[in-house]
Amino acid sequence: MERLAIHHANGMEMVAVKDSAISENGTERTLYPYVTGTSVIGMKYKDGVILAADMGGSYGSTLRYKSVERIKHIGKHSLLGASGEISDFQEILRYLDELILYDNMWDDGNSLGPKEVHNYLTRVMYNRRNKFNPLWNSLVLGGVKNGQKYLGMVGMIGTHFEDNHVATGFGNHLARPILRAEWREDLSFEEAVKLLEKCLLVLLYRDRSAINKFQIAKITDEGVTISQPYALKTYWGFSAFQNPSKGAEGSW
């Protein structure tokens, strides 16, 4: 952290600590996440992999940005969704741009699949964690190559796993139980979208950082489609929403 000397008129000197640090190449490290995105949900379905996320960017507890795209197409076979610090996600995208460019320069007819990209991201996140300079993100990586569907997750300290459905943030607590109960391997695209929207609606009601503006992306052997932003129909007339403190224990 950077220590700043502050001089006052009475001759006293106080020292303040700035919540940032300068790395060796002169760039400023992220010591605390400032602008963040919330949950990303991903799952396999009959023809491929589908991801969903809202487009909110929170500045602390304030929903400051309403059009942040947190799902990106990576190479020929992968989709990446991210929650956490937006600037660190942009840094990760720069790393991936370099990786895909380097792979394309070989011009050998092969291209990186989702498993290779997932392994790369795992090494990057763990490497930065070991330098005590982590990238403050949780990542969902899905893709299809040669008919094989792949879906994995990477945490900010390099923890990683593969599964038929994954979620980050609040979605890991609120959406995964729904997916465990209702997910099937033979879901059609329409059924997969309906299930994802059910999860997104629960998150919208329960997560203060979520906004009613979503994108859904799918990847199959035919390619990638990322939807235009859209909103879900909501109902806020439930009595628990109108009087949330009713029946709460405690004097405060």
Q: What is the set of active-site residues?
A: 30
Are 203 and 170 in contact, with CB atoms under 8 Å apart?
yes
The answer to whether 17 and 2 have CB atoms below 8 angstroms apart is yes
Separation between Cα atoms, residue 205 and residue 194, nearest integer Å: 17
Check: CB of residue 187 under 8 Å from CB of residue 45: yes
Q: Three-state SS for 158?
A: coil
- Identify whether the C-beta of residue 192 lies closer than 8 Å to the C-beta of residue 208: no
End-to-end CA distance of the chain: 37
